[in-house]
């Protein structure tokens, strides 16, 4: 119950400060994020993440005898 009350309180405080900041601040933050997404740094970071994910996908499973067909049964 405390978590729920804290969550509601957090949303209320965020809403209050968000409305107080107004549309100008929203537009300022939106422009900043848009410029960051279009920048070279974001492209480099995105490429690095994609390369890392590709390397992880190519690594074989180590320490397990997992089969791509699922678990194998040993007849009794």
> CA of 71: how far to CAs of 56, 62, 74, 75, in Å?
22, 16, 10, 13
pTM for the model stands at: 0.39
The region that residue 48 occupies, defined by phi over 0 for left and psi between -120 and 50 for alpha, beta otherwise, is alpha
- Give, in order, the Cα–Cα distances in Å from 1 to each of 5, 28, 47, 49: 6, 37, 43, 39
pLDDT tens digits along 10-65:
888 888 787 777 888 878 888 988 988 888 888 898 899 999 999 999 987 765 55
Q: In the chain, where are the structural domains located?
A: 22-52
């Amino acid at each position: 119950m405390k978590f729920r009350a804290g969550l509601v309180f957090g949303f209320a405080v965020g809403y209050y400060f968000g409305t107080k900041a107004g549309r100008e601040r929203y537009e300022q933050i939106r422009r900043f994020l848009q410029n960051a997404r279009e920048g070279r740094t974001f492209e480099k970071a995105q490429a690095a993440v994609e390369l890392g994910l590709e390397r992880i996908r190519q690594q074989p499973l180590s320490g397990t005898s997992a089969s791509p067909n699922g678990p194998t049964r040993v007849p009794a």
